[in-house]
Structure 1
């Protein structure tokens, strides 16, 4: 999968923050990742061992018990301009998988995106920024198998300085990226950043 050059569009596609515009309060900004949950900067740590890659199979559900996420997963493609489609905003408890990339559990970096809020209020990944390293994420797949992941880091990236290769680049092991909007908010342009949880496959649930 190669989404280089489309990172800013991903942020716009996933959410617009209409709820914040309606409430008019900065107190309603979603929680942001703690700096302690980012990847280590001073030294390059060895990557933890990953589970054995699974054969490709579409995801049907994502569970993150630590933040009470238990949501169905729909398929997402790219819009004509190259931006990632967003899950339908009418269902706040819905995530989307980029079907042009690896399936969760298969070799490579699988992309799951979802709204942080909609016009009705907080949405499926509102609390994504509160995740801690080691947090468990489960993806139930169409083949009936459940891929289990452990969070390696949670970071927030400004839209105009999004590390495309770090997030979307090819990986040699089965990994997962869970993405939503975050950072500051501007009523004219929406959220100014993306929150990304990086995880690796640990096995099957």
Structure 2
């Protein structure tokens, strides 16, 4: 059950000490399945299928060769964070970045690298057991804002935000978020909404959609 409308946002309050940490939920399972070319649940196509005809009409735009991301810079919200590579658990779920480092973002290592053609997935904690975390201010980003991913090849991947949207976790638009696309795009993802103590999870996901410029 959601908290009353007057409740503080997760960045302001969140769950009590000892429980406060980003929970990844269903959306992460879907991205992992999609990025490795498998099938999603029966009601949605995987990312490799989800772009459809609409995505094929987009211009290819700028793109960079594959290279591991090393640092994420978002000047508007003061983010200057290193990357860690995220992998799958035995259950097939994407492992989150370590919760003991509040200034760390994760990238799925078997997915698209930021700047490469396709959809690169970057995830971070909104808060941890001890404090607000790297993506606590992610909801401040809006259309036209910019961020940069520094890469191991020495090239910077500069992105501009197309939109910032929040989705209920039980109605997450996986085909839209993780669709395979013909240009270089990125998604910044964290948790949002109220913290449901019964489910030990936040109720929503915040997704920032962006493309390489």
TM bracket, shorter-chain basis: 0.7 to 0.9
- Is 1:115 the counterpart of 2:125? The answer is yes
Query: Once the 2 structures are TM-superposed, how far is the Cα of residue 160 of structure 1 from its aligned partner?
Result: 0.5
What is the aligned partner in structure 2 of residue 199 from structure 1?
210
Partners of 2:88 and 2:198 in 1: CA distance: 24
Number of residues paired by the alignment? 166
What is the aligned partner in structure 2 of residue 22 from structure 1?
17
Q: Residue 136 of structure 1 contacts residue 151 of structure 1 at CA under 8 Å; is this kept in 2?
A: yes
Partners of 1:75 and 1:23 in 2: CA distance: 25
Question: Structure 2: where are the runs of 5+ without partners?
Answer: 1-9, 20-53
The alignment's TM-score, normalised by the length of structure 2, stands at: 0.73
The alignment's TM-score, normalised by the length of structure 1, stands at: 0.75
Partners of 1:50 and 1:68 in 2: CA distance: 30
Cα gap change, 1:199/1:81 in structure 2, threshold over 3 Å: closer, same or farther?
same
What is the aligned partner in structure 1 of residue 43 from structure 2?
none
Partners of 2:112 and 2:133 in 1: CA distance: 25
Question: Structure 1: where are the runs of 5+ without partners?
Answer: 1-14, 25-43
Partners of 1:154 and 1:124 in 2: CA distance: 17
- Is 1:84 the counterpart of 2:108? The answer is no
Q: CA RMSD in A?
A: 2.4
Query: Once the 2 structures are TM-superposed, how far is the Cα of residue 80 of structure 1 from its aligned partner?
Result: 1.8
Q: Describe how 1:25-36 pairs up with structure 2 within 5 A.
A: none
